[in-house]
Amino acid sequence: MFARGGLDARATGPHRLHLIGTAATPLGGDHIDLVVEVEAGAHLQVRAVAATIALPARGCLSSSSRWVLDVADGGCLDFDPAPMVVAGGAEHSSLTVVGLGAGARLRLRERTQLGRSGENGGAFTGELVADADARPLLRHTVSLGCGAVTDDVLDAPRAMVSELVYPDTRPAQFEGLRSARLPLAGGGSLTTWMGARLEHRPDTV
């Protein structure tokens, strides 16, 4: 494990580590770059001790992050950090890049909330690019907040939960207009939930 800047990692079990914030980050102008590599046949569970809060800085509202998750042949990664909270007045963009080898397994859950208690601002764009066994698996982009296509007079979601599971053979499932699990052509599934506030949700959506 190697860390530099506002995030560190601590081994908390034989196959588990937790992300720990060592400074207020990301502030406007900050960029977070995190790489997780799971070797062939290895199993890893990643969690976080607290939510990450994106804050505006004087003269710069926007911050960004890039998460690279590489799982080698036969490896297994369960990546479920705490939510990203984008404070009022802040803008954050996130790119998650996933590479899965032959026979690899993945559960990736990302949670986002716009605004802290009493706030209604903030903007977020998240992009997910996933390949499995050297073939494209998923290209997915979601935006929340002012200017997003989901932000209109009929509905203005401020929270999102996204979960990518691979492999997964479960059929499509819909819960009203808020949640949908969709099978992927290359195998696996993507579940997306959107609403006003994040709720307590179990480890699997």
Output the DSSP codes for 47-105: EESS-EEEB-BTTB-EEEEEEEEEE-TT-EEEE-PPPEEE-TT-EEEEEEEEEE-TT-E
Output the DSSP codes for 98-136: EEE-TT-EEEEEEEEEES-TT----EEEEEEEEEETTEE
Name the average pLDDT for the chain: 91
CB 61 within 8 A of CB 90: yes
pLDDT band of 201, cuts 50, 70, 90: low
* Domain boundaries defined on the chain: 21-195
Each residue's pLDDT tens digit, 11-51:
999 999 999 988 778 999 999 999 999 999 999 999 999 99
Cis peptide bond upstream of 167, omega within 30: yes
pLDDT given for residue 204 in this prediction: 41
Q: For residue 178, is pLDDT > 90?
A: no
Q: For residue 203, is pLDDT > 80?
A: no
CB 165 within 8 A of CB 188: yes
Q: For residue 6, is pLDDT > 90?
A: no
Q: What strands, in cross-sheet order, belong to the sheet with 135-145? A: 31-38, 62-71, 91-100, 123-132, 135-145
CB 69 within 8 A of CB 106: yes
pLDDT given for residue 3 in this prediction: 58
Q: Report pTM.
A: 0.92
pLDDT band of 152, cuts 50, 70, 90: confident
pLDDT band of 1, cuts 50, 70, 90: low
Each residue's pLDDT tens digit, 46-95:
999 999 999 999 889 999 999 999 999 999 999 999 999 999 999 999 99
